[in-house]
Amino acid sequence: MGYLHEGHLSLVREARGRADVVVVSLFVNKIQFNDARDFDSYPRDLGRDARMLESVGADVLFAPEHEDMYPRGFRTSVEVDGITERLCGAFRPGHFRGVTTVVAKLFHATRPHVAIFGEKDYQQLVTIRTMARDLNMGIEVIGLPTVREPDGLAMSSRNVRLTPEQRELARAIPDTLFEAAKRVRGGEKDAAGLAGWVRERLARTAQFRVEYVEIVDAEDLAPLTELVRPARLAIALHLGHTRLIDNVALDPA
C-alpha cells in the first residue's frame, strides 16, 4: 500500500530473479480499513516509492485511483471463510473481505504467474494463497521472511508514526517473540502456556495495549493447544495511536 521500505524492496528483488517482467501494484485500499482515521493518516509518497522501485528493477508500477478499482455501482466482493475470522479478522470487521477483493482485482488486472508477499502479514499471506488455490487462479503465491530493523522490529510503513520513545519501547516485541521461539526449540509443547507467557511479558510495558496473542497452525491458522507441528505465534498490539503486528515461526524440537 505504499510508503515503501526494505521489506517491500526485498519482494521486488525476489520477483526480479523469478520473472521476465516485474509489476508492482501500489494502492491504498480504502475498503480494507475499518477505521477512517487510519486510512486518512496512512503514509503516502508516490514519487518516493516510484524512485525506490526503479532502483531495484521493477518494470511496471501499477498505481490506480480509487475510482479505477471501484467504479460507481461496484458491488462484488471476495471472501475466504475459516481463516479470516480469527487473529486480525476478529478485531477488524470487513478487513479481509477488502483485502481479498482488491487482490483478486489486482490479479485479474495484471495477470501474474507468480505473486510475492511478505510473511509479516502472515494471515494475509495464508488468506491470499487459499483464495488463489480455491478459485483456480493459476498463480504461485510465495511468502518471504519478514525483514527486520537491526534491533529486530519488523519493518512496517506504520513505524514512521512512532515517537522516538515508542520506537525504543517497541524493541520488546521482537525480543519477546524470539524468546518464545527459542523456548519451543528447547522443547516447550504447551501452546496455551506459552501464549500466556508472551502476553504477560508484553504487558510489562505499560504503553502496550495488547490486542491478541495466539499460537496457530502454520498452514490453516487453526488454534493449537499442543506444539507438535509447525506453528506461528502471532501478536497484535497498539502503541500510542499505532497498531503493530508481528509473528514468528515455531518449530517444535
Q: Which residues are catalytic?
A: 8
Identify whether the C-beta of residue 246 lies closer than 8 Å to the C-beta of residue 146: yes
Question: CB burial class (10 A; 0-12, 13-18, 19+) of residue 39?
Answer: middle
62/1 Cα distance (integer angstroms): 11
Q: Hey, is 138 helix, strand or coil?
A: coil
28/31 Cα distance (integer angstroms): 9
234/216 Cα distance (integer angstroms): 8
Identify whether the C-beta of residue 114 lies closer than 8 Å to the C-beta of residue 140: yes
Q: How many other CB atoms are there within 10 angstroms of residue 7's CB atom?
A: 20
Amino acid at 13: R
